[in-house]
Structure formats: structure tokens, C-alpha cells
Amino acid sequence: MTKTSQKNRSSRIEFIDFTRGIVMIIMAWDHLAGFWGKYKGGKMLIGRASFPETFTWFMSRFITHYCAPTFIFIAGTVLAISTTRRLEKGQTQSQVTLRIIKRGVILILLQFFIVNGAWDKVGDYYSYLFGVIACIGACLILFSVIRRLNTAIILGISLYVILNHQFLGLNWMPDTIWWGHYLRTIIHEPNEVLWYPFTGRYPILPWIGVMGLGWVFGVYLAKNLEKEPSSLVQPLIAVGISSNIVWVLMRWINGYGNLRPRMDNTLWEWLWIQKYPPSQGFILLTLGGMCILFAFGIILCARYPTDAGLLGFVMTLGRTALFFYITHLWLYRFRLPGAPVSEYKLEFIPAIIAWLIGLPILWQLCIRYERLKKRYPNSVLQYI
């Protein structure tokens, strides 16, 4: 491989890491606010909402909506790129499949044995929580098989799932026994109370559709490594703006794609969209923003050093996203496992300060983890 192509390959990875780093930083705010914020609110669960006390808190919650879709989309993108590279290096399809399954299983185990412990807000309320990490793990296991399909078929299936998931009926599944409840939660019906303690926020459908779109994007990147990353800037911006325009039209019409209809014309109501499960409008808006962030990342990574300064800080978090995710929960939780939830809550400015104080601590931990991972490349750390 020529030096130029090596640079292009690196640049493509860099703009992905940049985007992932940005959403990790925003996500850290979301969870700090969830642990300690006084008026977070704004959560949409199957058409129901917890009312945010102030518009400031509402908007601080709204911007975090971009995190999960971007994280899951990029998981599909990185999977496609890494799969292509492993096959190019001579690994067999069976070896690649086994590796994907291993990582999926590890993610599910991390969810139940490490991540959920940080969420124990009410006793064992979250002990069976099927969260975003478990969702990604389950989708990876499914993609160990789905990936063998033609890319056009994967694109078609992904779009179909996203556009039609709300019409899926699971009434044929038993709802009087625990495993029926939990299966419905895992597949499509997120819940936090109805079927306690078998809870979940990130059902496989429609998120596997989002991962599928990420896979298709990753396949494109893997096949066009010789092209300058800058060639993607205009198409990404065009897709991002178009997605947001379609979202505005969808929200204005207030029909299909709005699992939570708009009640009036206030900005508050326009932006109060459903995340659990994500409406089509939610996916349009957030993935559109992600495309614009991709383009911004390409521009920044081409103009400035990516191993120093603020950009280097963001890149480090992006390269160690899963470690950051696990670590930030326990840092911002700021209490031992099983310890009761503090009744003390922070106003907006103190919450922002607490979030900012935690970021450099997490950055240093991520630097050390990255060094450890490089020192032991064949250990279980390769899956985290």
C-alpha cells in the first residue's frame, strides 16, 4: 500500500473516531444529568413522557438524542471495515463470524454484569435492563450471518425495518410469563415499569436497521479507500440537510413517523420526539445530524493534527468508546455499588461543572487503557 493510500485509510478512520468521540462527550453529559441533574426529564417511552421542568434542561436532553443512533450506526460501519480488512488479510469467513459472535456475547455480558450495576437506581430495578450495549451485542450476533447477504439486500432490509417497525405486532407472544415479557422488550417494546424487572430501552428492532445502514456505509468506505476523504464532505452535508428537511415536513404533517404527535407549534413540541423506540422522525433527524458531523470531522482531521490539543482529546475518546462508556457511568455515578441514591441534586450550572471536571479524568483513563490494549493485543481487551 502506498503512503497516500495509508493516509487516506487513516483519515477515514479518524473522521469516524472524531464523530464517536464527540457523541461520547455529549453522552457523558446526558448520564451525569441523569444521575445528578435536578430537572432532566424529556424522556419519551412508547408515547409517554416525563415532563422536563425547564426549557434549558429540555434542550440539554434533546442534544443527547444524537448519541445512540450515531453510536449504533458507527458500530455497523466499523464492523464492515474491520470485516473487509480481516478477509483481505486471509482470515476465513468462519473465523470472522466467530470473532463477531464473540464480541457480541462479550457486549451482552458487559451490559448485565458491569453496566447495569451503575444503573441500580431503585434496588435491582435495572438488573435485567436490556440497554444499548446489549442491543449492539445482539445486533452483532445477528450480523455475523446477515453480513453474508448482498449489500443492496442489507440496505433494503434495513430501510424496511426502520420504515415499518412501528407496525410490528407482538400480541402473539405470551404476556403472562416472564420470558414472554422480556422477549417482547428485547425485540420491540421497550419498558421500564410494565414488566418489571425485565426492562429495556433499546429493542433490536429498529436499531438493527440503523446498524445495517452503518454497515452499508462501511462497505462503501472499505471499497473506496484510495479516494480522498474530502470527496465525501459535500454528499454527507447534502444527505444531512435533506434528512433534516424531510424531518421538518414529517413533523409538520404530524402523521406517519411521529410516534409522539406534535401538540402545538411551540419549539418545545416540535423537538419533543420519541426515542424509545425511535420514531422514523427521530432517526431522520439524528442520522442527518450525524452526517453533518461526519463532514465536519473530515474537514478538521484534514486541517489539524489529530494527536494533540482538543482534537487529540476527542480522538482518544473516540478510539476507546466502549471503555469510555463503561468507565464514565461509574465515575459520574459517584457512589459504590448498591449504595442508595442521593436525594441531593444539582442545578444546571453545577451539573455542567461536574461534567466538565469528569472529562479530563476519563481522558487520562482512556489514554492508559489504550496503551494497555496495545501492549496486550491478543487479550480480551481487543473486544472492548
As a whole number, mean pLDDT of residues 80-100 equals: 96
Size (the chain), residues:
384
Query: How far apart, in whole angstroms, are the C-alpha atoms of residue 361 and residue 373?
Result: 18
Q: How high is the mean pLDDT of the chain?
A: 89
CB atoms within 10 A of CB 106: 18
The answer on pLDDT for 214 being more than 90 is yes
Q: What residue type is 78 in one-letter code? A: V
Query: How far apart, in whole angstroms, are the C-alpha atoms of residue 240 and residue 171?
Result: 36
As a whole number, mean pLDDT of residues 113-120 equals: 87
Domains contained in the chain, number: 1
Query: How far apart, in whole angstroms, are the C-alpha atoms of residue 251 and residue 271?
Result: 9
Q: Which of 43, 277, 78, 67 is nearest to 165 (CA)?
A: 277
Q: 7-21, 90-104, 301-315: lowest mean pLDDT where? A: 7-21
Q: Which of 231, 282, 215 is nearest to 12 (CA)?
A: 231
Residues in a beta bridge with 294: none
Query: How far apart, in whole angstroms, are the C-alpha atoms of residue 351 and residue 346?
Result: 5
Backbone angles phi, psi at 44, to 5 degrees: -110, 120
The answer on pLDDT for 25 being more than 50 is yes
Residue 40, SS3? coil
As a whole number, mean pLDDT of residues 310-339 equals: 93
pLDDT tens, residue by residue, 246-259: 999 999 999 999 98
- Which range marks the domain in which residue 311 is found? 3-383
Q: What is the pLDDT confidence band of residue 97, given thresholds at 50, 70 and 90?
A: very high
Q: Measure CA 10 to chain center.
A: 22
